[in-house]
Amino acid sequence: MSGKNKITGYFARVPASATNKQKTSPLKEVTNEVSNQNNDNKMTTPDSKRTRVDPDLINEQNDKGKIMMSPEGKMLLSPEQKERCEGNKIEARKKLLSKKMPLISSNMGNTWFKALENEFKKPYFQKLNDFILQDGNNKTIFPKHEDIWSWTMHTSIEDIRVVILGQDPYHGPGQAHGLCFSVQPGVPSPPSLVNMYKELEADIQGFTRPTDRGGYLAGWSEQGVLLLNAVLTVRKAEANSHKDKGWEKLTDAVIKWISDNNIDVVFLLWGSYAQKKASMVDKKKHHLLKAVHPSPLSAHRGFLGCKHFSQCNQILIENNKQPIDWNNLPQMK
């Protein structure tokens, strides 16, 4: 296979229908022209004041008979309709930017794209994009392109309640899919995750690890647990091969955004790397639980027995937040 084909394969586009459930309708120009029920008192708006709105919103309002106009003749949208229009604008900007930089995937969550949009325009991210493009020409890169941003697809950035930090993705075939410590359905749990399960069994009453040694943790992500690696890609069989190429700056920006904009988030920091990574977190607003890494090399020195999972839930409850159901681990996408 030629290098060009490898690049195309790694940065292949994922059909929107397969990755994004949000319906996006094309925008087209409509006039603010409305008739009352008797079809008289027609009001028209000059061409210079025409408004670009989602035609589906017009249909929705017509169906309900609740078209509302301002005194200036402009259509008034409900909060839900404004949110939908904003979502369409974000989708358009995301699509445009992904054409310039293939590393940005169209399946990235909208709230995350909006929060990180300025980062994508900085020189370091352009260099990172070029590096991954070139490296993908010669090497196999994990995870698959469509999975790089999977950590943005399960919940909005504003709803993050818990953060677990990892270092870089698993570098074995079929393992990495964008969530730290997690592996794809049907893949046996790696040793660190096995130790996490051991601690959960001792700490959380009724916890049962998934059958068939499964290690797919998306069920946590869907509840507002961010499973974030500091580096989001890696070469096959080469741990830390994409270290110091730019990913760390982006994931620092993710942590800083959550620290600045959310409140009472619980950070589970296992190992010196994760603890250093979270040094910018505002400790007055958030809660940091620290222990050694769950790796077999260190777990017996303080991870096993740390009770972080129950402590995390207790903190959430004390701050009027829903605790995490750590048992919610369906082993399928």
Active site residues: 168
β-pairing verdict for 162-166 and 266-270: parallel
Per-residue tokens: 63: 């169906």
Cα torsion angle, 293, 299, 300, 306, sign: positive
Under 8 Å between Cβ of 232 and 148: yes
SS3 of residue 144 by DSSP: coil
CA 264 to chain centre: 19
Under 8 Å between Cβ of 49 and 74: yes
CA gap 169, 177 in Å, rounded: 8
What value, to the nearest 5°, has the Cα angle with vertex 59 and ends 58 and 64?
100
Amino acid letter, 46: P
Strand-pairing partners, residue 88, are: none
Amino acid letter, 267: F
